[in-house]
């Protein structure tokens, strides 16, 4: 596996853990790191959009949903 995939996998795993703990802002930060590795991955934008919604940031969520479409 490439270093990019390992870094992205770690970021998404951390984001999932933060969501389970209710730490939505930190989940968004980790998903942003994953997006930096793979900006063409629409699933990451959708996941971050839900993180933004949970963190009560609907404007950013809308932008990510639009990017994912």
- DSSP per-residue letters across 9-60: HHHHHHHHHHHHTT-HHHHHHHHHHHHHH-TT-HHHHHHHHHHHHHTT-HHH
What local confidence, expressed as pLDDT, does residue 67 receive? Answer: 97
**What would the pLDDT profile of 22-39 be if each residue is shown by its tens digit?**
999 999 999 998 899 889
Burial class (CB in 10 A: 0-12, 13-18, 19+), 20: exposed
Entry pTM = 0.82
Angstrom distance (rounded) from CA 19 to CA 52: 11
């Amino acid at each position: 596996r490439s270093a990019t995939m390992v870094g992205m996998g770690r970021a998404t795993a951390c984001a999932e853990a933060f969501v389970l703990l209710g730490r939505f802002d930190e989940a968004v930060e980790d998903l942003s790191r994953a997006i930096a590795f793979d900006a063409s991955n629409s699933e990451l934008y959708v996941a971050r959009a839900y993180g933004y919604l949970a963190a009560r940031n609907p404007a950013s969520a809308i932008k990510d949903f639009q990017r994912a479409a």
